[in-house]
Amino acid sequence: MPASRRKFLQTTAWSGIAMAQSAPTAIPAERRVYLTGDGVTHSPAEYARLLTKVVDERGVKADTYLEGGAVEQLEQQFAKLLGKERALFLPTGTLANHLAVRELAGDKRRVIVQQESHLYCDETDGAQRLSGLNLLPLASGQATFTLQEVAHTVERSAGPPYPAPVGAISIESPVRRTNGEVFDFDEMKKICAYAREKKIGTHLDGARMFLASAYTGISPAQYSALFDTVYVSLYKYFNAPFGAILAGPADMLKTIGDLRHPFGSQVCHAWEPAAIALHYLDGFTARYATAVRNGETLVRLLAAQERIKVERIEHGSNILRLKLSTGTADILQERLARAGIVIRGQKNSQQVVLQINETLNRRPPEEIAQEFARALA
């Protein structure tokens, strides 16, 4: 693995279980605040207890090879939420993105993507190697590409002397590699309208779409309505152990469902991730809205402290940076951990990346800010 890739993983995608195990056991789980990751962090024991509780309370029914039971219930609920004919469970978002653009592109093998997208950067060229697609990256270093860029790429690809038409456009929003920046919604609408006119398929990598909605005021259904297919992660903030939902036209989803077996993803059952995702999906919008409000209060209180400078991401969502004028991030991390507040701090660095998630609802933001002040004193 290249050193740059290792560094990216180390600084942006910590294991929730590892973070849970690093938290002090003296602090009750219900008071631990994890300003890392998009969702709720559990230790293995906590997770096992949660699954047992959910099964007992919800009367969870098992699926058989992803048919029936909690999986079918989850698919139906997401299809309704996203306004699509059908939704389909897949084990990973990587596979959801891949199979969506594969089917949308059809015989037109070129797919427009963001250069910073997960599909282009973080899926080991799966769409290229396994489905013969040619990804055309736009907007280096940015979340948003423009209709003008898209139209130019489409026209050039279809032109002489060797035309190779674009078959699909994939948009990720928010974009993890630009620190949670969201794709400009007006530009998104124009691009999707252009794609419909040109009969080009459209896919939304909406892995973190439900988080973005709390910041943009645009509902998941509004985002989804623009696209032929849309993917939502089940493990990032719905806290399933694994899984993804892909929603779209029923006929296309039937074809993609049939591809699960040859692509090695027709698992024996997935009622466990489906049950956990259903549990956290109930009331998520209201809970996360509260977390965002608490996050804004916390940011305001931290910004008022002399030793901290808050840096917001332009057009951002749930990620922000702190710069320390004294001390280092690793020492701050160690001190806050004693108080049951988990952050991600690199040795000898004065920058801390914070992520807003549901655990911010466990303690008043004023109390969390006071712990930061004590840790920096």
Q: How far apart are CA 371 and CA 54, in angstroms?
A: 33
- Three-state DSSP at 40 gives coil
For residue 71, with 0-12 CB atoms within 10 Å meaning exposed, 13-18 middle and 19 or more buried, which class applies? buried
Residue-by-residue pLDDT tens, the chain, 377 positions? 444 444 444 444 444 444 544 555 589 999 999 999 999 999 999 999 999 999 999 999 999 999 999 999 999 999 999 999 999 999 999 999 999 999 999 999 999 999 999 999 999 999 999 999 999 999 999 999 999 999 999 999 999 999 999 999 999 999 999 999 999 999 999 999 999 999 999 999 999 999 999 999 999 999 999 999 999 999 999 999 999 999 999 999 999 999 999 999 999 999 999 999 999 999 999 999 999 999 999 999 999 999 999 999 999 999 999 999 999 999 999 999 999 999 998 889 999 999 999 999 999 999 999 999 999 99
Q: Nearest Cα to 138, choosing from 67, 210, 187, 79? A: 187
Q: Which residue has the tokens 């035309």?
A: 163
Q: Which residue has the tokens 């690809």?
A: 157
Residues contacting residue 266 through CB under 8 Å, at least 6 positions apart: 65, 66, 260
Q: Nearest Cα to 229, choosing from 90, 104, 71, 110? A: 104
Does residue 280 contact residue 40 with C-beta atoms inside 8 Å? yes
- Three-state DSSP at 44 gives helix
Q: Nearest Cα to 95, choosing from 205, 179, 191, 175? A: 205
Does residue 317 contact residue 339 with C-beta atoms inside 8 Å? no
Residue type, 248: G
Q: Left (φ > 0), alpha (ψ -120 to 50) or beta: where does 352 sit?
A: beta
Q: How far apart are CA 4 and CA 175, in angstroms?
A: 18
Q: How far apart are CA 357 and CA 203, in angstroms?
A: 26
Q: Which pair of structure tokens corresponds to residue 106?
A: 């059809």
Residue 69: other Cβ atoms inside 10 A: 18
User: What per-residue confidence (pLDDT) applies to 26?
Assistant: 80
DSSP-derived pairing of the beta strands 229-233 and 244-248 = antiparallel
Q: Name the DSSP class of 57.
A: H
Residues contacting residue 130 through CB under 8 Å, at least 6 positions apart: 98, 263
First CA to last CA across the chain, in angstroms? Answer: 40
Average pLDDT of the chain is: 94
Does residue 247 contact residue 227 with C-beta atoms inside 8 Å? no
Helix (H) or strand (E) holding 353: strand 351-355
